[in-house]
């Protein structure tokens, strides 16, 4: 498949194989883009910005709505692409396509709500004859860098708001999962998006990422990925806006008064969705001691029911990790924790890129699985004696994206809501719950700013203040 530079499909002699992570078979090839391709894409995007900023809002809305309709027509093709190049099962992939269609649809809806308000200048003494307002304007060219774990919907979360807000965008999708992004670009162009507004450049991050980040014509970097890459971007970006979602080590609290069966089912799904390669996936569960044994036994029993295998098989519950290298890393973390005293309840093995869903207990404080983001199908269980203890331990990491609590008591829920050091709290669902219109982001090393279409639009536009000094009459 070719890449998109200023709306044109472009090929290159050097290519990158896109591999199915289950068996290593070649799904397709894409061009190996260079810094020169990024430079050309940005040059065209500068022109594209001038086109999009002057498009009436109703035209942007119509383009995005047509895009969503085209995606709906190509629903199964998009799902198969996600499952073929990535880790998601075909059932998980279909849900991602549905979410991506929703993301583009909401972007169209929010394009009509980019408004401002009047300013009471006369509230300041000496400004009695001044009136005015502010409105929002697009900031220019957006540089979007997206990860492999949601190869369609996270691209939609960058492109949809950027286009709705009147910007141009240059996207660098994950090297291992570029096809879904290119197919979304194809849908946008088919829907009538003026070509220069959009580029999707494929290639290796170390070859084209810096060129995108460092270019002064890029006015904002919107990045989803790891902390180390995020810190590198901050060091190299220069004077531009930055929005980042950098992952987590998501904590869930289970109180004795909750519906344990609901908590088990929700947390198992939250831990092993997309093979745990999920920034809001459940990684640590703090269970009130009086129900710890019951919860643990139910959780392990439900985990053992998971079928792990080829992601395109309809009955597969959990597919492969994105690479065998990543699968090896996860098992290394498990073995390291076991050497420090952690106990394995189930899983802990792999075959190629397939890692069995893994549950552990007695996790020592400071182990990687305890305080870092595993980004794999591993969850740790911890008994606690009180909600205070659970909150204290939940907060004792450098991440803070989403947290969750299962409880039937409002006082427990509201205490956790206030005390948890996270960007969002989920009550009686796992941390894996998300709808695409909610503000999404975290604190500490989990990121900067918020996504969610309305909130991304605020990041991708700026307020312009207007003041009239009216002549006095009489």
Local structure of 280: helix, strand or coil: coil
Domains of the chain: 3-246+446-465 (3.40.605.10), 250-427 (3.40.309.10)
CA distance 395 to 365: 13
CA distance 230 to 207: 16
DSSP 56: -
CA distance 2 to 297: 50
Q: Pick from 180, 170, 220, 222: which is nearest to 39 by CA?
A: 170
Q: Is there a contact between 105 and 121 (Cβ–Cβ < 8 Å)?
A: no
- Is the pLDDT assigned to residue 42 strictly greater than 80? yes
DSSP 288: E
Averaged over 409-423, what is the pLDDT? 98
pLDDT bin (cut points 50, 70, 90) of residue 474 is: low
Q: Is there a contact between 354 and 323 (Cβ–Cβ < 8 Å)?
A: no
**Looking at 279, 361, 373, 451, which residue is catalytic?**
279
Share of the chain above pLDDT 90, in %: 99
DSSP strand pairing (354-355 vs 130-138)? unpaired
pLDDT digits (tens, 9 = 90+) for 223-276: 999 999 999 999 999 999 999 999 899 999 999 999 999 999 999 999 999 999
CA distance 204 to 213: 14
Taking each helix axis as running N to C, give the angle between helix 57-73 and helix 179-190, from 0 to 180 degrees, rounded to the nearest 10: 120
pLDDT digits (tens, 9 = 90+) for 136-152: 999 999 999 999 999 99
Q: Give residue 362's pLDDT.
A: 97
**Looking at 92, 96, 245, 459, which residue is catalytic?**
245
Q: Pick from 373, 312, 331: which is nearest to 88 by CA?
A: 312
Task: Reply yes or no on whether 245 is catalytic.
Answer: yes
Q: Give residue 247's pLDDT.
A: 87
pLDDT bin (cut points 50, 70, 90) of residue 466 is: very high
Share of the chain above pLDDT 70, in %: 100
- Is the pLDDT assigned to residue 472 strictly greater than 90? no
């Amino acid at each position: 498949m070719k890449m998109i530079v200023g709306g044109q499909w472009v090929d290159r002699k050097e290519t990158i194989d896109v591999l199915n992570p289950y068996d290593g078979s070649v799904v397709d090839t894409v061009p190996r883009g260079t810094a020169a391709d990024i430079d050309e894409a940005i040059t065209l995007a500068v022109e594209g910005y001038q086109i999009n900023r002057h498009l009436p809002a109703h035209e942007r809305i119509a383009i995005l709505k047509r895009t969503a309709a085209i995606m709906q027509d190509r629903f199964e093709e998009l799902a198969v692409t996600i499952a073929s190049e990535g880790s998601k099962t075909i059932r998980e992939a279909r849900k991602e396509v549905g979410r991506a269609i929703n993301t583009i649809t909401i972007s169209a809806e929010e394009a009509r709500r980019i408004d401002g308000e009047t300013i009471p200048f006369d509230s300041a003494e000496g400004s009695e004859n001044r009136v005015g307002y502010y409105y929002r304007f697009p900031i220019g060219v957006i540089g979007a860098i997206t990860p492999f774990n949601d190869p369609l919907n996270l691209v939609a979360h960058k492109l949809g708001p950027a286009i709705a807000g009147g910007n141009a965008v240059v996207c660098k999708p994950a090297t291992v999962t570029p096809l879904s992004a290119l197919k979304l670009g194809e849908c946008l162009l088919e829907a009538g998006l003026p070509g220069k507004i959009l580029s999707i450049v494929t290639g290796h991050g170390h070859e084209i990422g810096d060129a995108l980040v460092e270019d002064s014509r890029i006015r904002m970097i919107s990045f989803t990925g790891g902390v180390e890459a995020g810190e590198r971007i901050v060091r190299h970006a220069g004077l531009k806006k930055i929005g980042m979602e950098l992952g987590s080590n998501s904590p869930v609290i289970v109180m004795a008064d909750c519906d344990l069966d609901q908590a088990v089912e929700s947390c198992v799904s939250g831990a092993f969705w997309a093979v745990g390669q999920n920034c809001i996936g459940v990684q640590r569960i703090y269970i009130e001691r009086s129900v710890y044994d019951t919860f643990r036994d139910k959780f392990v029993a439900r985990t053992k029911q998971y079928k792990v295998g080829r992601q395109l098989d309809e009955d597969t519950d959990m597919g492969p990790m994105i690479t065998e290298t990543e699968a090896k890393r996860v098992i290394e973390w498990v073995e390291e924790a076991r050497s420090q005293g952690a106990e394995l309840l189930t899983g802990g093995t792999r075959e190629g890129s397939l890692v069995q869903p893994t549950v552990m207990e007695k996790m020592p404080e400071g182990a990687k699985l305890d305080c870092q983001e595993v980004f794999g199908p591993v969850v740790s269980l911890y008994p606690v004696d009180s909600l205070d203890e659970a909150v204290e331990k939940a907060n004792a990491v450098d991440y803070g994206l989403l947290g969750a609590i299962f409880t039937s008591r409002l006082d427990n829920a509201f205490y956790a809501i206030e005390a948890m050091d996270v960007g969002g709290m989920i009550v009686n669902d796992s941390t894996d719950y998300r709808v695409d219109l909610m503000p999404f982001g975290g604190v500490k090393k989990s990121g900067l700013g918020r996504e969610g279409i309305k909130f991304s639009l605020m990041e991708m536009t700026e307020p312009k203040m207007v003041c009239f000094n009216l002549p006095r009459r009489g």
